[in-house]
Amino acid sequence: WQVRLGGWGCGAVCQAAAALALTPRLLARVVPPHSFRHSYTGKFRFRFWVFGTWRDVYVDDRLPTRAGNLLATTCALHDDFTLPLLEKAFAKLHGSYGAARAIGMARALSELSGGVLQSFSPPHQVPALLLQEKEKFGVQTRNGLIGGQAYCVTGIARVHKGVGRGEEEGEEEIMVRVRAPSGRGKWSGRGSRGGADW
C-alpha cells in the first residue's frame, strides 16, 4: 500500500499496516478475507493484539467524508478501502480517531502484528541533535529522505565494496533497503537505485 494520510488519518497505524502488508501472512491475521459478492452485509472484522490476546473489532462500511472526500487515510489505489476500514477499526478499539492518532508507531506495530517490542537507547548526543534540527522535520533531505517520516526496513545485507574506486579488496559494507509507506522520500544518495555506484 502507498499511504495517503487524510485529515483524520492515524499515521502510525497506517504506516504499520503498510509495513505489515510486506508480509501477507501477518496481514491476513489482522485483515481476514472479506467477500463483496456473496451475502455482503457491510460488516468488516479486523483483529488486533491487545494485552496478549487477539481481539476482534467489527465496523460497518460507512467512512467519514467531507464534500465527498474521505477524511480517513486512503491508498494510492482509490478503489481499495481496506486501509481506511482498518483505520476505523483501530480508532474504534481506542475510542476515537483522536485517541488512535496519539498511538505511536511501535505500539501500532505491536497491536497489528502481535510482536514483542524492543527499544534501543540512542547515544546521548542524538536527542540534542534532534532538538537542534526539529524545525526541519518533514523537510526532504539532500539524500531524498524525509525527516519525521517512518520507513520500513525491507532488507539488510553485507556487500563487498567494488574494487577500483579507492576501496580495498575484501572490504564489506552494510546496506539497508527501506521503503516509505507513503511512496514519498526515496533515497537518492550513494547506493540508490539507478545511481552510478548501483
Per-residue pLDDT tens over the stretch 91-103: 999 999 888 888 8
Give residue-wise pLDDT tens across range 151-197.
667 777 787 776 555 556 667 877 777 776 666 566 666 767 766 65
User: Considering the domain boundaries, does residue 105 fall inside one?
Assistant: yes
Are residues 103 and 163 both part of a single domain? no
Number of compact structural domains in the chain: 2
Are residues 94 and 145 both part of a single domain? no
Are residues 26 and 78 both part of a single domain? yes
User: Considering the domain boundaries, does residue 104 fall inside one?
Assistant: yes
Are residues 78 and 151 both part of a single domain? no
User: Considering the domain boundaries, does residue 119 fall inside one?
Assistant: no
User: Considering the domain boundaries, does residue 128 fall inside one?
Assistant: no
User: Considering the domain boundaries, does residue 120 fall inside one?
Assistant: no
Give residue-wise pLDDT tens across range 47-90.
999 999 999 999 999 988 888 877 777 666 666 788 889 999 99
Give residue-wise pLDDT tens across range 121-146.
555 655 565 555 555 544 555 666 66
Q: What number of residues does the chain have?
A: 198
Are residues 12 and 109 both part of a single domain? yes
pLDDT at 143: 62
Whether pTM exceeds 0.85: no
Taking the C-alpha atoms of residue 4 and residue 9, their distance in angstroms, rounded to an integer, is 8
The whole domain housing 152 covers 135-191
